């Protein structure tokens, strides 16, 4: 059985351009990103 972790990058962080740096930290910590979805009024 494998564990899965959900994470959400908040709109203020994406607005400041931190998305790439946050994803880099997640990957360097040993996690694998299996899916990403951008949604909400902030991305329309």
pLDDT, residue 39, reads 76
**How far apart are alpha carbons 22 and 9 in whole angstroms?**
8
pTM, full prediction: 0.76
The per-residue pLDDT for range 1-44, each reduced to its tens digit, is 678 899 999 988 988 999 999 999 999 999 999 999 887 665 55
Would you put residue 24 in left (φ > 0), alpha (ψ -120 to 50) or beta? alpha
In the chain, where the domains are located: 13-43
């Amino acid at each position: 059985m494998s564990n899965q972790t959900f994470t959400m990058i908040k709109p203020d962080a994406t607005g400041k351009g931190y998305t790439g740096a946050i994803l880099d930290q997640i990957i360097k910590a040993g996690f694998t990103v299996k899916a990403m979805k951008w949604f909400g009024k902030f991305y329309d």
